[in-house]
Amino acid sequence: MTPVAIAQRRTPDPGGGPEQRRLELVDALLAAGDGEACAVTALDWLARHCGVERGLCAVVDRAAGALVGVAGHGLPASLAAAFRIDLAARDHPLAVVLAGHEPVHFRRERGKSGPQIVTPLGDHPFLAVPIHSGGGDRPIEHGLLLLAGAAEPAREREACWAAAVLGIRLAALELPLGLAEERRHERELTLLRRGLETVTDPILITDAEGRILVANRRAEQLLTAEDRMSEGRRRAVAMNNMLFSAAAFTGGPGDEPTRRELLLVDPIEGEDLLFELLSTRFEVGRGETGTVSILRDVTDLRRASQEIEDNYRRLRIAEARTRAERDRLDLILDAALDPILVTDREGNLARLNPPAERLFAVPDAADADAAERRVRANDVVLTSFLSELAAAQSDRLRGELTLTDPVSGESIPMEARAANVVSRQGEVTAVVTIFHDLSEAVEKERLYEQVKRHSEELERRVREATAELAEQNEVLRRQTLELEQASALKSQFLANVSHELRTPLNAIIGYAALLLEGISGELAEPQREKLTRLESNAQSLLAIINDLLDIARIEAGKMALDVLSFDAVELIDEVMAEVEPLIDRSRLDVTREITDEIPELASDRQKVKQILINLLSNALKFTPRGAVWVRAGFDPATDLLRVAVVDTGTGIRPENRISIFEAFGQSGGSVLRRQGGTGLGLSISRRLARMLGGDIHLESEVGVGSTFTLELPRMSMES
């Protein structure tokens, strides 16, 4: 509330307003016995005639140096009684009004800062009217009337008049307020305030509309803020107010205290605070109510209970897990194929899985007696094994024992492993014994031994066989080597022999030539004839020796290849020219046919020529009549040159078609001798053809003719 200047006014004119009403006030004031009664009377009158809705009358307690409320209208008596302004604070707006002797308007102005006045009138604009007496230079100040609702000049004038009359009356009563009474009030009030302040929980009293009338510091901290405070704090307070109002005033109309939870923000720390709000309504008087609210901070309490809840939940989960673990363990035990049993310290069976049950529980077998005996026997075996464990230093024991199948009576070799289950305190709480049927293992062991024996035997045999093989290999290798050496020696021998044979043969031929030329004198015709025969046979012998030398060289691998590019057609022509004398002598029709475009060959020209001469001269020699064709063609797909020598000769019998390619394997030696061949020509030709990467093929029909085909790759690898 801030003071608002109003038009300067003299003391209200006592003669203004309806006479009747004024007389009524005066009468009532005169009837009132003390100041408080006067105050009540005045406020009543103002309410009735001046539209005052709320009013407070405060008087100066000179002893206390304070302005204190003595009566109220439209507000709880307790609030009126609680009103107090220390007059030592001379700058208090109401103190200023009191000293200024002029009525002042107070109204809340938005955004305007200034001293805040908290009055029981709340937020309503009000008129503060000083009550004084004496007038002139030394007026006596008696107090203030705070009036809300009389907001029009005429009424205000009446109010000022009433205040003046009240002042006169109070002066007449010479401060008749019961001071003792007042002090008692004051003490109670102080006690109440101090008491409230000592309570750490926020406590506040609000009016029916939620306005804070009284609040202890803690409550103020949460619910009130001043403009100088930080934005955050003010916002927190605004929010708290909203939350608090919503919580405190949604209760039912009854006087029963309501309890609810309220989450507020600590405006200073910013933390969430959980309160239990206890609100109680009470009657203030004149049908008005107020509310006492006590907020109990249960933040820590809630936290603690939350923790307890969490712990409890965790405990439940752990419990469930343990249970699941136990169930799982049971499942595992039951699923295990090996007999497992748990006994207590005394050796009493506590838990058996099904395989263990078959050994240690009497079955519903036909022969129950026998089964029972066997079960008892098993028990004895187990007990003695466990007593061994009990006597042992260790917590574990392994042993091999023999149990009996209670149903079949079969004995079962078993491996037993027993272990003490020891508690944290080191006490043996149970013993777990696991059996493992060894009969299978025993059988496996036997089989394994057998397999091992067999495998060793097999290995030995393989070793022996391998050794034998290696030995044979070595023998073979040695034999191969010896053969190779023998072959090489043979070839070398043949080469040497050929050379040695040839030299004298050359001499024979040479001398024959000298004689035939008549160098050593004229020859008679019979002599010439014989000498010609001699020369011819010498030539045949020389041809044989040359062929032998070729074979020997080929077999010794000493036949070098000399690969060059050359024209195959040209070569064929050359061959034909070379055998011209033979052709002439044969009187055969010899035709050369070139069927394809023939590319240049990369091969050993000399050897190809040798082959072709051989094939062609053979054809000429062995064809009594008819024709001979030399057909050359090239197949790009296979990259092969084919030269076929076709004759209409006697043909070669199927059984001879292979042997004619073998050295000295000619078809019919007599024919050959008659024709003057060596029988080595085809063998050499085929070998040469193969050396060049090709071959010679034969097609023949007896009485029709033969075709020898030389096949050569376009490119020969140089060996």
Partner 1 sequence: MNRETAGPDRPLVLVVDDYLEAREICAEYLGFHGYRVVTAEDGLQALDKAFEVLPDVILMDLSLPELDGWAATRRLKADPRTSGIPIVALTGHAMSGERERALAAGCDDVITKPVVPKELLAEVERQLARRGEAVGDEG
Q: Which residues bind partner 1 (CB under 8 A)?
A: 499, 502-507, 509-511, 513-514, 517-520, 539, 542, 546, 549-550, 553, 559-560, 562, 604, 606-607
Q: Tell me whether residue 153 or residue 510 sits nearer to partner 1 (CB atom).
A: 510
The single-letter DSSP state of residue 650 is -
Instruction: Provide the minimum distance between the beta carbon of 570 and partner 1 in the complex, in angstroms, as a whole number.
Output: 18
Instruction: Provide the minimum distance between the beta carbon of 498 and partner 1 in the complex, in angstroms, as a whole number.
Output: 9
Q: Tell me whether residue 19 or residue 522 sits nearer to partner 1 (CB atom).
A: 522
Q: Tell me whether residue 11 or residue 606 sits nearer to partner 1 (CB atom).
A: 606
- Among residues 225, 222, 190, the alpha carbon closest in space to that of 203 is found at 222
Instruction: Provide the minimum distance between the beta carbon of 697 and partner 1 in the complex, in angstroms, as a whole number.
Output: 25
Tell me the C-alpha distance between 351 and 336, whole Å. Answer: 13
Instruction: Provide the minimum distance between the beta carbon of 681 and partner 1 in the complex, in angstroms, as a whole number.
Output: 15
Tell me the C-alpha distance between 35 and 66, whole Å. Answer: 16
Instruction: Provide the minimum distance between the beta carbon of 626 and partner 1 in the complex, in angstroms, as a whole number.
Output: 32
Unique residue bearing structure tokens 């969430």: 272
Instruction: Provide the minimum distance between the beta carbon of 706 and partner 1 in the complex, in angstroms, as a whole number.
Output: 27
Tell me the C-alpha distance between 484 and 490, whole Å. Answer: 10
Tell me the C-alpha distance between 544 and 547, whole Å. Answer: 5
The structure tokens listed for 431 are 């013993």
Q: Tell me whether residue 341 or residue 509 sits nearer to partner 1 (CB atom).
A: 509
Cα atoms in the Cβ-side hemisphere of radius 13 Å centred on 5: 2
Instruction: Provide the minimum distance between the beta carbon of 629 and partner 1 in the complex, in angstroms, as a whole number.
Output: 28
Q: What is the maximum alpha-carbon separation in the chain?
A: 212
Residue 274 pairs in a beta bridge with 263
Q: Tell me whether residue 511 or residue 661 sits nearer to partner 1 (CB atom).
A: 511
- CA 391 to chain CA centroid, Å, is 54
Give whole-number Cα distances, 274 to 296, 298, 310, in Å: 8, 5, 19
Specify burial of residue 317 (Cβ count, 10 A radius: 0-12, 13-18, 19+).
exposed
Determine the Cα angle at 146 with ends 145 and 149, to 5°: 125
Instruction: Provide the minimum distance between the beta carbon of 621 and partner 1 in the complex, in angstroms, as a whole number.
Output: 21
Tell me the C-alpha distance between 517 and 525, whole Å. Answer: 13
Q: Tell me whether residue 423 or residue 503 sits nearer to partner 1 (CB atom).
A: 503
Tell me the C-alpha distance between 74 and 91, whole Å. Answer: 28
Strand order in the sheet with 349-352: 349-352, 340-343, 428-437, 411-422, 396-404
Tell me the C-alpha distance between 177 and 36, whole Å. Answer: 7
The structure tokens listed for 332 are 């595992």
- The residue type of 7 is A
Instruction: Provide the minimum distance between the beta carbon of 677 and partner 1 in the complex, in angstroms, as a whole number.
Output: 18
Q: Tell me whether residue 550 or residue 647 sits nearer to partner 1 (CB atom).
A: 550
Q: Tell me whether residue 538 or residue 628 sits nearer to partner 1 (CB atom).
A: 538
Phi, psi of 317 (to 5 degrees): -65, -45
Q: Tell me whether residue 311 or residue 520 sits nearer to partner 1 (CB atom).
A: 520
Instruction: Provide the minimum distance between the beta carbon of 513 and partner 1 in the complex, in angstroms, as a whole number.
Output: 5
Instruction: Provide the minimum distance between the beta carbon of 619 and partner 1 in the complex, in angstroms, as a whole number.
Output: 22
- Among residues 694, 675, 506, the alpha carbon closest in space to that of 607 is found at 694
Instruction: Provide the minimum distance between the beta carbon of 503 and partner 1 in the complex, in angstroms, as a whole number.
Output: 5
Which residues of 177-221 form beta strands (DSSP E)? 203-207, 212-215
Q: Tell me whether residue 32 or residue 559 sits nearer to partner 1 (CB atom).
A: 559
Q: Tell me whether residue 503 or residue 670 sits nearer to partner 1 (CB atom).
A: 503
Question: How many residues belong to the chain?
Answer: 719
Q: Tell me whether residue 242 or residue 514 sits nearer to partner 1 (CB atom).
A: 514
Tell me the C-alpha distance between 326 and 121, whole Å. Answer: 74
